[in-house]
Amino acid sequence: MKTFEWSAPRTLDEAVKLLSAGTAVKDPDERPQILAGGQDLLTSMKEGIVRPPRVVNLKSVPGLDKLEDLGAKGVRIGALVTIADLAENAAVRDRFPGLAEAAAHVASPQIRNLGTVGGNLCQRPRCLYFRLEHVVCLKKGGDTCYSASGNNKYNAIFGEGPSYIVHPSDLAPMLIALGATVTYRGSSGPKTIPLDKFFTMPNQGDVRRENVLAAGEIVTSVEVPASAVAKRSTYLKFRERPSLDFAMSSVAAALDVSGGTIREARLVLGAVAPIPWRVPKAEAALKGQPANEATFAKAAEIALEGASPLTNNEYKVPLTKTLVRRALAQAAGVTTAAAR
């Protein structure tokens, strides 16, 4: 591991200044890095993926670990709120059950007690080639995405490259389904945008980036609005091992159902694309339809339209269709054959 300087700022402005001091460095992986929970950063440093001259510890900045119940407006979640605290919060469990479920699906209890909401949203890809220290793939400034023709069991089936990473966050798909916004801070002050505009595709500008954050910018909070779909929200995740694993596929669903009819639907797929993959055509197909097995099956087919599996991950198509059907049935409170 490269020698680095440890900084413990007392304010956000100081943290931004410490991070911005390295913006002139051409390689983004050689610039100062943020430490939140540290679960991804420390392993990335040990693997040589990032080589920061300075690590800026946000835990010394007061106020970033607050989870605020905003009543009729929803909840505001500080970037340093731990995933365990999010999963166990009474207001979240009652009013945003899908978000509590997504948090409970993250890794292990030990990691959830240290990992943070901001860190979960900003974590780096888990692609085998990206994580190998001596492989200089496209995401590291090379000219080849080795997963395109190599070991791609866990890689993307949507997005069409040029990099076939999948976004590893469990929280992001559910937060997007709930209409969350994210606030981040840089030298020009705070900015707030919809969370579904926060993540960037590899074919949108810089292939090495996963989100809109510029050097020196810090996620400070996420706000989840109260809505008609929030109460009927759920998150399903398939992984190879019952605990610890990242998703092979996941689905975040949120519905507004009245009199057995779906009035509004939000559907976001995880672990199938470089960003959380919202499927508006499937959402539109659900709206105004009866909450039953036939409707859910049709939506699942539409949700996977356009999927382009690689050589080793075609299984993700039927797997995700099944998860979509089950998630919709669970969110609607309907018992179907697919849900059993």
Residue 336: the pLDDT is: 76
Residue of 80, 122, 75 lying closest to 99 (CA atoms): 75
The dihedrals phi and psi of 277, each to the nearest 5 degrees, come to -105, 95
Q: What pLDDT does 340 receive?
A: 54
Q: What is the pLDDT of residues 2-32, one digit of tens each?
A: 899 999 999 999 999 999 987 788 899 999 9
Please, what is the average pLDDT of the chain?
A: 96
314, containing H or E segment: none
Q: Rounded to whole angstroms, how far apart are CA atoms 222 and 81?
A: 10
Q: What gap in Å lies between CA 288 and CA 286, rounded to an integer? A: 6
Place of tokens 């505009």: 197
Reported as a pLDDT band with limits 50, 70 and 90, residue 339 is: low
Q: How far is CA 286 from CA 237, 251, 277, 303, 331, in A?
A: 21, 15, 17, 11, 13
247, 235 in Cβ contact below 8 A? no
Average pLDDT rounded to a whole number, residues 169-173: 98
State yes or no: pLDDT of 60 exceeds 90.
yes
The answer to whether 203 and 160 have CB atoms below 8 angstroms apart is: yes
Query: What pLDDT, on the 0 to 100 scale, is given for residue 43?
Result: 93
SS3 state of residue 220: strand
Domains and CATH numbers, the chain: 233-332 (3.30.390.50)
Locate 88 and state its tokens. Answer: 């166990």
Residues 236-262 have pLDDT tens digits of: 999 998 778 999 999 999 999 999 999
Please name the residues in contact with 145: beta carbons below 8 A apart, sequence gap of 6 or more: 129, 137, 138, 139, 161, 162, 163, 164
Residue 244's pLDDT is what? Answer: 80
Count the Cβ atoms, other than its own, within 10 Å of residue 42: 14
- What average pLDDT does this structure show over 193-220? 96
pLDDT digits (tens, 9 = 90+) for 297-337: 999 999 999 999 999 999 999 999 999 999 999 999 998 77
pTM above 0.85, yes or no: yes
**In this structure, are residues 230 and 95 in contact, taking their beta carbons and an 8 Å threshold?**
yes
Whether 85 has a pLDDT exceeding 80, the answer reads yes
- Does position 205 have pLDDT exceeding 80, yes or no? yes
- The answer to whether residue 287 scores a pLDDT higher than 80 is yes
Cis peptide before 162 (omega within 30 of 0): yes
- 117-143 pLDDT, tens digit each: 999 999 999 999 999 999 999 999 999
Q: Are the beta carbons of 112 and 83 closer than 8 angstroms?
A: yes
Tell me the backbone φ, ψ of residue 57, rounded to 5 degrees: -85, 110
